[in-house]
Amino acid sequence: MNKPRLLLALLAMVASLYTVSLVQAQNYPTDDEVNAIAKKLYCPVCPNTPLDVCETQACADWRAQIRDQLAEGWSEEQVMAYFVEQYGERVLAEPERSGFNSLIWILPIVAVALGLFVAVQVLRSWHRAQNTAAESAVDFVPDVPPETLVKIERELREIA
């Protein structure tokens, strides 16, 4: 499917050589524009390598393909959609936020909420125990460094 298109693009490129106009030269996508999209894609064949840095010939060809698609006036979304359709969802650096994969965004929020909830519960239970213990209310902030206090306490414990 993509071979004829590539061929077409090549033909178009060759043709453009003969009809060089200033406008076309300006419209031709720069490496930066190609990289900006390639950065968001992962090489479909190499282990865990973004497409913009991958050094294999296959990846160079894919970057050339992005360039051609941009030259044909494709938008970024169209290019990305094309790659997902061709090589599967694994080419996206960031998984789509739908279906099962949305869990990857939901679970961290759930985890943080749960963690905070548990932490507050634990702190509360400690606090409650303190209140029922009805110790003499130590209502001042001592001026001694906390380390010293702890040391005194520990030594008191050891004497006891």
CB of 145 to another protein, least distance (A): 8
Considering beta carbons, is residue 33 or 74 the nearer one to another protein? 33
CA dist list (Å): 131 to 121, 134, 135, 138, 141: 15, 5, 8, 12, 18
Task: Answer yes or no whether residue 35 interacts with another protein by CB under 8 A.
Answer: yes
- From candidates 40, 59, 62, 65, binder to another protein by CB under 8 A: 40
Nearer to another protein, 10 or 123 (CB): 123
* Both tokens assigned to 22: 């200033």
Contacts of 2 (CB under 8 A, 6+ apart): 65, 86
Nearest to 90 by CA among 74, 101, 99, 79: 101
DSSP state at residue 29: P
Tell me phi and psi for residue 42, to 5 degrees: -110, 145
- Contact status: 138 vs another protein (CB under 8 A): yes
Among the listed ranges 2-10, 11-19, 71-79, 123-131, the one in contact with another protein (CB under 8 A) is 123-131
Residues lying near another protein in the complex (CB under 8 A)? 30-32, 35, 40, 42, 47-50, 52-53, 55, 60, 88-95, 99-101, 103-105, 107-108, 111-112, 115-116, 118-119, 122-123, 126-127, 129-130, 133, 138, 141, 146-147, 149-151, 155, 158-159
